[in-house]
Amino acid sequence: MDFALATEFSFDEYRYQPDHHHNTVGAPNGAPNLVTVMQQLHESLDPRTVFACYGKLMGQHLPVLGITLCYKEYQLSWGGEQGLLIKQNLSHDGVSISIAYRLSAPLIKPQTELLYQLQSLLLSPLVNAIAYQQMAKQAMHDSLTHLGNRRYYEQSLKQVLARAQRHGDAITLVVLDLDNFKSLNDKYGHLVGDEVLSQFGHTLEQAIRDSDQAFRIGGDEFTLLIEGDTQAASVLCERILAMMEGDSLLTKFQVQTSMGLAQWQLGNDAETLYLRADKALYRAKAAGRRCYRVD
């Protein structure tokens, strides 16, 4: 899921500190220094932090109770959803941006002018932060399947194992690949092979729970990080096999998968856990493919 979709912020999540010594010339009493505001908004490359900073600022200097912004596929929210509603329709590089404010009281003219001033400072840092996050996301995801890539897998596994070490959580790694994928590629060509990989990645994404993660770590090799024991992972493997049987593209090309499961044990590092799951994968292949085995 996307990092910026329907995210809520409390008033105290980001504490903007106004500059009390250098108010802008001609600004209403208590208005923030616009240079300071600009610096604050440019401090982070996280869109949520930028927007929370903006919301906190507006809540301190204007009767703003809540703000919602829509830009492309992103929706950011701060504060509440009650109060008087005013809407602004803006544009940035030809892309429309809508902002809705919830107010505790109507704005007087100086307040309206201040709102426009502050609003004009938001777009550049927010759009830059969103662009940065999109690039960072692309660097961690496989362009063909849109699953996490090897780098993201290694980072995620490290984090998951650290949490398991601290709290004793049950974590299971599933290593899987497509049976006889090289033969399929040789027979039908790489375009069909890519289509099969993409559809298989989609199947994995649909099969896993929100708490699980799926990755393509190279070629036709995939991994799943499952929050649960091997019994929970086995249920998932059965689901994957059933979904593949019901997929017209995968059945057309007789695509099958073998899977190996290994549950994290005290003392296992990332490499040890992977080798255990990989060993179970080869046992599944030796058993006739289109199945899974547990280490």
Residues 6+ apart with CB under 8 A from 149: 140, 141, 142, 215, 216, 217
Q: Which residues are catalytic?
A: 220
Helix (H, G, I), strand (E, B) or coil at 110: helix
CB-based contact 260:279 (threshold 8 Å): yes
Residues 6+ apart with CB under 8 A from 270: 154, 157, 158, 161
- Tokens coding 258: 């073998």
CB-based contact 215:155 (threshold 8 Å): no
- 292-294 β-sheet, strand order: 213-218, 221-227, 171-178, 257-263, 292-294
- 95-103 β-sheet, strand order: 5-7, 74-79, 64-71, 95-103, 84-92
CB-based contact 31:58 (threshold 8 Å): no
Instruction: Quote the CA–CA distance of 137 and 182 in Å, as a whole number.
Output: 29
Query: Looking at residue 148, what DSSP letter applies?
Result: B
Instruction: Quote the CA–CA distance of 87 and 82 in Å, as a whole number.
Output: 14
Q: Exposed e or buried b for every residue in 3-34, given b needs 16+ CB within 10 A?
A: ebeebebebeebebebeeeebbeebeeebbbb
Nearest alpha-carbon partner for 213 in 129, 154, 163: 154
